[in-house]
Structure 1
Amino acid sequence: MTIATTRTAPRPTMGALRQTLRLTRMEFTLFMRYKTAWLFLAMALFLIAVPLNTPGEEVFGGMASNELSALGMMGSIAVIIGVGHPSNVFTARREALVLKRMRAGGVPSAALFGAVTAIVAGFSLVIAALGVGLMVSVGAGMPQDPVMLLFAVALSAVPMTFLGLLITPLARNAESAQMAAMAPIMLLLFSGGVMPVGLFPDILHKIFSLLPSAATGQLIQAGYTGYDVFGGFEGASAVGPFELWVAALPSIGVLFAWTAVLGVAVHRWFKWDPRQA
């Protein structure tokens, strides 16, 4: 007697890019259903609008101080969305064993983190576009280098999302994650445009300039005005597109450096299992 043996066909594997795209669609759907996420979006737009409703004095090139402050706050869009949203939802998913099941199911961390980063970057660009609309409505004109502005907003979403993911190992649940996220959010908002730069001592200004929110704010101010503001507003001068990008290299380097450092930290310390495990 011969016994026929059947072989189960191996399940086709899905490429990393396709997994990332599918997870991005899932993250988008969940983001749209998450009421707290809408609060993050409203808060980011509100912080841009507030300086525009305050009196300001001309600083350079027809740009007033309140308009430059609003542009600086545009550099903090990803701070609010990137730190606030992932820290909350990924802590909740970890404690509900969702992350553990995804890990056991073979979902690569790069696809999962890439998906939430894409969502943060996408919604940050939407808020930035609305912020530009507010700037135009108050007579600030159109951005002189919109590519630099969009590049800064999209790039800043990466380290900010990584920072939000790094908060999850410190939190036991979604509520405590919200509280833990407030300290870095307030620090980055403070350094990114909430307070006028002129109120800071030089040494404090130099330290703040090394933070990602400040670097992003400078890139956005330079991209919108076409002025080299990376050495401060005093003596800022209009330059060509090539010279502007050359002057922006240190700020771009700051963002890439933070992306590398925080990316390594997430890879090493991100927790997939619940805290009680």
Structure 2
Amino acid sequence: MNTLTLNPGRLTALGRSELTLLVRNRAALTLAFLMPVLMVFVLRSSLSGVEGAQAVGEATLTGGIGMVLILVVYMNLVSAYVARREELVLKRLRTGEANDLEILAGTALPATALALGQIAVLAVAGAVALDVRMPRNPLLLVAAVLAGIVMLAGMSAVTSSFTRNVETAGITTLPLFLVTALGSGLFMPIDSLPDLAASLCELLPLSGVMTLVRAGWSGGVEGGDLLGAGLGALAWIVITVFAVQRWFRWEPRR
């Protein structure tokens, strides 16, 4: 990958172009707008046995934030990167002035903006609808969401390398979706699992981010756990950046 600088003008132009393509893709828009809402209802039903309305509401909202990150950023971007690669868009962009990071980040901009908007609406409207207090540490919550976006955008680029076409993107994204949904604390707290299972689940890519999200919303997480979650998220971001540099495909698979 070439120089890792970002030119705001080129980045904005690439993002605007990608937004136009996203708006024309009804399937992607449907996934981006409807699936997170439906999954929040699923989360609400699955957590109905938790004692206390506050606990249920907070768990629903933090789980919903995780689902937005997975569905809107990760799954949507895998399809975007694959489609642009197979249409030779990435190859053509590489022959111009934009560097690799600008191309990847520009493609991710619309999904990032959409995810941030949905999370903001979810935080405000969801808190009002479920009668849940607003986040105790908004800055930590924002930092956790941004870390999750960076990580999942990188993972979507890596996953696209092993995805033959847009039609198979639903298959190649399924493993991370299932592992995250079941093991990173979206549907149930990690500490409710047996000790060995909980220790393994804490090593999953989005587990650290979700710990920070819950801490930012509800508090009650000790400093050592916060540090561990932050370091875990940072480690996965570093691993993801290395994987993108090593395996990302700029030309169609043959």
Is TM > 0.5 for Structure 1 vs Structure 2? Answer: yes
Task: State which of 223, 228, 232 in structure 1 corresponds to 2:216.
Answer: 223
Hey, what's the Cα distance between the residues in 1 that align with 2:101 and 2:14? 11
Q: Structure 2 length as normaliser, TM-score?
A: 0.86
- Aligned counterpart, 1:150: 142
Contact residue 51 and residue 66 of structure 1 kept, 8 A: no
Hey, what's the Cα distance between the residues in 2 that align with 1:197 and 1:257? 19
- Aligned counterpart, 2:28: 37
Once the two structures are superposed, the pairs formed by residues 84-233 of structure 1 within 5 Å of their partners are: 84-132=75-123, 133-192=125-184, 193-197=186-190, 200-228=193-221
Hey, what's the Cα distance between the residues in 1 that align with 2:243 and 2:174? 20
Hey, what's the Cα distance between the residues in 2 that align with 1:30 and 1:253? 36
Hey, what's the Cα distance between the residues in 2 that align with 1:50 and 1:41? 15
In structure 2, do the counterparts of structure 1 residues 92 and 116 end up closer, same or farther at CA, with 3 Å as the change threshold? closer
Secondary structure of 1:211's match? coil
Identity, in percent, stands at 26
Structure with the higher helix share, 1 or 2: 2
Give the aligned residue type for 1:213: L
Query: What's the C-alpha RMSD, in Å, of the aligned pairs?
Result: 2.4
Is 1:28 the counterpart of 2:19? The answer is: yes
Once the two structures are superposed, the pairs formed by residues 54-93 of structure 1 within 5 Å of their partners are: 55-58=48-51, 63-65=54-56, 67-93=58-84
Hey, what's the Cα distance between the residues in 2 that align with 1:210 and 1:21? 35
Unaligned runs of 5+ in 1: 1-13, 231-242
Contact residue 149 and residue 220 of structure 1 kept, 8 A: yes
Q: Structure 1 length as normaliser, TM-score?
A: 0.79
Give the aligned residue type for 2:34: A
Tell which structure's C-alpha radius of gyration is larger: 1
In structure 2, do the counterparts of structure 1 residues 175 and 110 end up closer, same or farther at CA, with 3 Å as the change threshold? same
Q: CA deviation at 1:42?
A: 2.0
- Aligned counterpart, 1:254: 232
Q: CA deviation at 1:110?
A: 0.5
Is 1:268 the counterpart of 2:246? The answer is: yes
Aligned length: 246
